[in-house]
A = this chain, B = another copy of it.
Amino acid sequence: MINRNALAVGIDIGGTNTVFGLVDHIGNCISHDSIKTSHFQLVEDFVDAVCLKLNKLITDQNGVKIIGVGIGAPNGNYFSGNIEFAPNLNWKGIIPLSKLFEERLNIPTTLTNDANAAALGERIYGAAKGVDDFIMITLGTGLGSGFVSNGELIYGHDGFAGELGHTTVEKNGRLCGCGRNGCLETYVSATGIVRTAKEFLDKSSNSSLADLDVITSKSISDAAIRGDKLALEIFDFTAEKLGFSLANTVAITSPKMIVLFGGLAQSGDLLIKPTKKYLEKYVLSIFKNKIEIVPSKLNASDAAILGASALVWNK
């Protein structure tokens, strides 16, 4: 049942779009709206525009009480409430985002990065409900991750924990946007799997992918679902990298569950099944056959808003 007396605001800031909405404590997204992040050169103008639309959503809910605002944003720091040096946003340097929203809305505001927000969303409304030890992995342009241990997000001493995408899986591997080589996200992400497809197609053109002008992670998934052998090999290669990394990661935090989110993760068992196979192959025996790998249970269209709003209910 929807409880309109107490709602949380969830705001998810992406490089292109920002989505926001009102969410009740069991994860019903009551109403939502969006704006183009990239249109705003000044962060103050952006916050003004979000607040204008957000106040409309709140007013529309006649006398609703807003408990808090949760924001998920790239490089969002939970401790400082700042966005710090986000490469894909117009606003450079250190941006006091929580403060800017609090000044306008007069509602307590909490910020974290998008993968941490997704982890909380999964814990409060989704696949990891009631699970105290799990890993959230978001597969988009890059690979984001959030670690929950002892029922709490691991923020690390500086708020920057959870960079599984930038652990090195191949010492002299692919060049990463971070300037280093062989980061997991250069293999396991929407862009990573496209790089793999191009490499594989250089060696073999015996695939329906060879006929495409533009290869995307979606077209690789589609080909694999049709049984395209090369596409299936591409998924196996990707899963091997992820399974190997997860085996090392599991040895550190011993999670009960690993939740995968994002287009790549939602493509049936294409990624999850071989990832599970490689995790079990590489992992230390005491962890074998203990860990579930599951897709996100959040409705994809609302997931980002839900994740951000979970920051409020988690307090």
Using CB atoms and an 8 Å cutoff, list the residues of chain A in contact with chain B: 85, 131-133, 145, 147, 149-150, 152, 154-164, 166-168, 171, 178-180, 244, 247-249, 251-256, 282, 284-287, 290
Contacts and interface: CB of A to CB of B under 8 A. Distances in A.
A8 B179 CA distance: 50
Contacts of A159: 254
A156 B249 CA distance: 11
Contacts of A160: 254, 286-287
29 contacts: A85-B286, A132-B157, A133-B157, A145-B252, A149-B149, A150-B152, A150-B155, A154-B154, A154-B252, A154-B253, A154-B254, A156-B253, A156-B254, A156-B255, A157-B254, A157-B255, A158-B286, A158-B290, A160-B254, A160-B286, A160-B287, A162-B254, A163-B252, A164-B251, A167-B247, A167-B248, A180-B284, A248-B248, A252-B252
A159 B248 CA distance: 16
Given A178-B284, A253-B156, A284-B180, A149 B161 contact: yes
Contacts of A180: 282, 284
B285 A179 contact: yes
A145 B253 CA distance: 11
A306 B20 CA distance: 51
A82 to B, nearest CB: 13
